[in-house]
Amino acid sequence: MFPRDYIELVGIIGPEDPGPEYSGFLARREGPMKLAWATADAAAAAASLTASGLQPGVPRPLGRQIELPEGTLVPRFTNVDLPAAATPGITSFLCQHLTPEHMRRPEWLAHANGATGLLGATIVVSDTKALPAAYERLFGAGSVQMTDDIVTVRVGRQRLIFAGRRIFAALYPEIEPDPRLAPPFIALVTVAVADIEATTDHLAVWHIAFESTAESRLLVPPEEASGAHLEFVVARR
């Protein structure tokens, strides 16, 4: 958990069938699967998207028990599924957290590696032509920029970068995505840290492989980060 966003880890820990969505994904790879967009009002967001011509799912109230030393809590939230055409290149949904105080406990927001939040993700796609119109429709024209076959979508403080394999290789010459992965796939997740030297020390103490670049970035390989490259950078103030 971070103050304004989070990374949710999902795994299979029992013999039950996880369902076709998860089993199908894991048959192809381990790694980042989907994105959740925060909304303050799931019902209003769904209505707005419907009015714009998209076909979002019906808002679904959900709850999940968590066991704590002081007892059981039930964080509650409302999700709205988005059609594939709304966010080409990634699977995504809207999420309204109704009880954020249950999930953003102070002791869960401090991380030994110095991570303070998500800054974005980089997605390898086959073609970028259809992306600008779709994301402008979802987030507004000012949120999308296209340069040299790179589509950048800014959502809040986060940034999504879409690029083909060749352009991705130019952006990140240190990274070689698994050639067996067929686009689209999330190849890189970028995480903000407060102090890059402290993060370096933490990774070294725990013998986690990483590469330090000239831009004061740390790159952790997929085998150390559940299937995707993990990038640590100092957040801009």
Task: Show which of 49, 73, 107 is a domain's final residue.
Answer: 107
Alpha-carbon distance of 12 to 133, in angstroms, equals 36
Same domain flag for 129 and 188? yes
Give the count of beta carbons closer than 10 Å to the beta carbon of residue 57: 14
What is the span of the domain harbouring residue 126? 111-234
Give the count of beta carbons closer than 10 Å to the beta carbon of residue 226: 15
Same domain flag for 163 and 118? yes
Q: What pLDDT is recorded for position 70?
A: 85
Distances (CA, A) of 25 to 18, 50, 67, 204: 11, 28, 28, 32
Number of structural domains (the chain) is 2
pLDDT band at 14 (very low <50, low <70, confident <90, very high): confident
What is the arithmetic mean of pLDDT over 7-33? 87
Structure token pair of residue 128: 């970028």
Same domain flag for 47 and 130? no
Task: Show which of 54, 75, 107 is a domain's final residue.
Answer: 107
Same domain flag for 116 and 214? yes
Task: Show which of 72, 107, 142 is a domain's final residue.
Answer: 107
Query: Torsion over CA of 190, 196, 201 and 202, rounded to 10 degrees?
Result: -40
Q: Is residue 2 part of a domain?
A: no
Q: Which residues contact 31 (CB under 8 A, 6 or more apart)?
A: 185, 186, 222, 226, 227, 228
Same domain flag for 96 and 115? no
Alpha-carbon distance of 136 to 26, in angstroms, equals 31
Q: What pLDDT is recorded for position 126?
A: 94
Same domain flag for 90 and 166? no
Quick: pLDDT tens for 81-126.
999 999 999 999 999 999 999 989 999 999 999 999 999 999 999 9
pTM as predicted: 0.92
